[in-house]
């Protein structure tokens, strides 16, 4: 059994490599390669934008009768991602770039234009210096002056960096943090003082209210009203009670009146010499004892029954008013 991985192969003694038939391939043969779009482009058919770096499965072929310094030029065929239209571009070894052939237009690239402008200016300067030695001196003077300016700017940047290097950012942050903490502490103390002042004011107000209430409670009560000296004054001030008139009063009229009733009231006088109860006068109409009206006046000789009836009715009025 032969080995699977071998470095040497067996050639028989009668091997003649000239007898091996050669495969004839066309010179414009195309190969399928995987590539990325070398620049931004826009399809002419549908207007789709194809950005640089988009991957395609392209067909590659060698351009016939086009060579740059012995280097072959290759052409690539890709398809639009939207309308599948064919787009072709080829290599440009002279400018180390690619050139668009057909199917799309290359978008504007400022970087490429800047590079081309720099190359043009450099070429013009070299052409001038070849035939004009004074121009060479002027260009050297300008270059030296520009170099001095660049060195000065560089020195300024170095000085600025050294000044910033001496700055302690950690100390600055620490100081800022301490100042913030101190400010918060001061604000907290102010809030506490304001709260304490408000509590003190509320306590003083409450003490004042308590002292006012105690003074009101300790104040003496107003003296009771004095009794009237005249016992008949209450009869004069008593409200008149409306009562239903009797039938005989409608025909005859009221027999009693307040002046007659006040005339019948007699103030009781106490006699120290009298010791027997028989000498005491009989209670008259209008005298009050224990809050009750006394008996009507006794019948005296010479008075009529109608007058007695009027006196009796007046006594009832006085008792009801009391």
Which parts of the chain sit beneath pLDDT 50?
Answer: 257, 259-262, 271-298, 300-303, 315-318, 321-322
Q: Which pLDDT score is estimated for 232?
A: 66
Q: Which pLDDT score is estimated for 307?
A: 55
Report residue 294 as tokens.
């006394």
Q: Note the pLDDT tens digit of each residue in 31-74.
A: 999 999 999 999 999 999 999 999 999 999 999 889 999 999 99
How far is 265 from 308, CA to CA, in rounded Å? 15
Instruction: Write down the domain spans for the chain.
Output: 31-107, 115-165, 167-200
Annotated binding site for Zn(2+): 43, 46, 80, 83
Q: Which pLDDT score is estimated for 277?
A: 43
Q: Which pLDDT score is estimated for 22?
A: 84
Annotated binding site: 43, 46, 80, 83
Q: What is the pTM of this model?
A: 0.37
- 36: which strand partners? 55
Q: Which pLDDT score is estimated for 308?
A: 58
Asked whether 312 and 246 are in contact (CB, 8 A), the reply is: no
How far is 316 from 191, CA to CA, in rounded Å? 80
Question: What letters, b where the CB count within 10 A reaches 16 and e where it falls short, cover 236-270?
Answer: eeeeeeeeeeeeeeeeeeebbeeeebeebeeeeee
What is the DSSP pairing of strand 55-68 with strand 104-106?
A: unpaired
């Amino acid at each position: 059994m032969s080995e699977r991985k071998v470095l040497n192969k067996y050639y028989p003694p009668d091997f003649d490599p000239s007898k091996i038939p050669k495969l004839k391939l066309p010179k414009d043969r195309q190969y399928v390669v995987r590539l990325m779009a070398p620049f931004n482009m826009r399809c002419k058919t549908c207007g789709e934008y194809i950005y640089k770096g988009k991957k395609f499965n392209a067909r590659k072929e060698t351009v016939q009768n086009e060579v740059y310094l012995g280097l072959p030029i290759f052409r690539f065929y890709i398809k639009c991602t939207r309308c599948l239209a064919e787009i072709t571009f080829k290599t440009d070894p002279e400018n180390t770039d690619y050139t668009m052939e057909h199917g799309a237009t290359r978008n504007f690239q400022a970087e490429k234009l800047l590079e081309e402008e720099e190359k043009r200016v450099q070429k013009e300067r070299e052409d001038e210096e070849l035939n004009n030695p004074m121009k060479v001196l002027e260009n050297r003077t300008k270059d030296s002056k520009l170099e001095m300016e660049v060195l000065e700017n560089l020195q300024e940047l170095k000085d600025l960096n050294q000044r910033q290097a001496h700055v302690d950012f950690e100390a600055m942050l620490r100081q800022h943090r301490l100042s913030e903490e101190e400010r918060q502490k001061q604000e907290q103390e102010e809030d506490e003082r304001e709260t304490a002042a408000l509590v003190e004011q509320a306590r003083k107000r409450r003490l004042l209210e308590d002292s006012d209430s105690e003074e009101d409670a300790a104040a003496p009560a107003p003296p009771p009203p004095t009794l009237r000296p005249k016992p008949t004054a209450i009869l004069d001030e008593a409200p008149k009670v409306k009562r239903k008139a009797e039938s005989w009063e409608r025909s005859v009229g009221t027999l009693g009146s307040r002046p007659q009733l006040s005339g019948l009231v007699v103030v009781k006088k106490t006699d120290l010499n009298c010791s027997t109860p028989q000498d005491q006068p009989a209670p008259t109409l209008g005298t009050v004892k224990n809050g009750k009206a006394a008996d009507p006046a006794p019948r005296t000789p010479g008075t009529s029954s109608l007058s007695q009836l009027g006196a009796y009715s007046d006594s009832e009025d006085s008792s009801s008013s009391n």
